[in-house]
């Protein structure tokens, strides 16, 4: 017999050993189980995937009543590695500081979480919005009024 060819007898001997048939039956069982179960896909965007409560989505700037919690200290802008946060601080006549301009460039942001951790007033947090899409880069530069309600940027489909 030529080298590299199998005879019928050698094939029958191999099938009698438990190492050939058992994996085949296990594979067929798994295939049949997957065939009979519901597919794991979701119908996006009509169905949305649940994200963990600690998901790092678009930033949210929190308000306390009608005023922002942010006092414009600038720690978040100072600690931001890609320098995605820009703050211009102003003061009222009573001496209270507030952010006159607060801008986050979501395209530059690496979602590291330093800005959320360093904020002394807990004025900034992450939302669960994970699908902010647009064709214009300028729309990813969110101002303080945009950051109050980031859920407005959830993708709704066409």
Half-sphere exposure of 143 (CA within 13 A, CB side): 6
What pLDDT sits at residue 153? 87
What whole-number distance in Å separates Cα of residue 58 and Cα of residue 13? 63
Q: Kindly state the tokens that stand for 19.
A: 């190492």
In which band, very low, low, confident or very high, does the pLDDT at 4 lie, cut at 50, 70 and 90?
Answer: low
* All structural domains of the chain: 1-40 (no CATH), 59-153 (3.30.70.3270)
What pLDDT sits at residue 157? 72
- As beta bridge partners, residue 104 has 85, 142
Q: Is the pLDDT of residue 1 over 60?
A: no
Closest to 57 (Cα-Cα) out of 106, 102, 101: 106
What whole-number distance in Å separates Cα of residue 146 and Cα of residue 131? 16
DSSP E strand stretches across the chain: 59-61, 63-64, 67-68, 85-91, 97-105, 124-126, 141-142
pTM of the model: 0.71
What pLDDT sits at residue 158? 64
As a whole number, mean pLDDT of residues 124-149 equals 93
pLDDT tens digits, residue range 94-114? 999 999 999 999 999 999 999
Indicate the average pLDDT of the chain: 89
Per-residue burial over 64-81, b = 16 or more CB atoms within 10 Å of its CB, e = otherwise:
eeeebebbbbbbbbeebe
Strands 124-126 and 141-142: unpaired
What whole-number distance in Å separates Cα of residue 151 and Cα of residue 15? 60
pLDDT tens digits, residue range 25-54? 888 999 999 889 988 888 888 888 889 999
């Amino acid at each position: 017999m030529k080298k590299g060819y199998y005879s019928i007898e050698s094939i029958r001997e191999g099938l009698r050993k438990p190492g050939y048939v058992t994996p085949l039956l296990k594979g067929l069982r798994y295939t049949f189980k997957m065939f009979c179960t519901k597919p794991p896909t979701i119908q996006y965007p009509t169905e949305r995937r649940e994200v963990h409560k600690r998901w790092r989505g678009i930033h949210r700037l929190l308000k306390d009543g009608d005023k922002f919690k942010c006092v414009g200290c600038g720690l978040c802008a100072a600690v931001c590695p890609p320098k995605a946060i820009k703050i211009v601080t102003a003061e009222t006549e009573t001496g209270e500081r507030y952010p006159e301009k607060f801008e986050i460039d979501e395209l530059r942001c690496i979602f590291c979480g330093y800005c959320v951790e360093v904020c002394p007033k807990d004025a900034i947090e992450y939302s669960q919005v994970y699908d902010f899409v647009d064709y214009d880069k300028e729309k990813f530069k969110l101002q303080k009024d945009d950051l109050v309600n980031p859920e407005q940027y959830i993708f709704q489909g066409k």
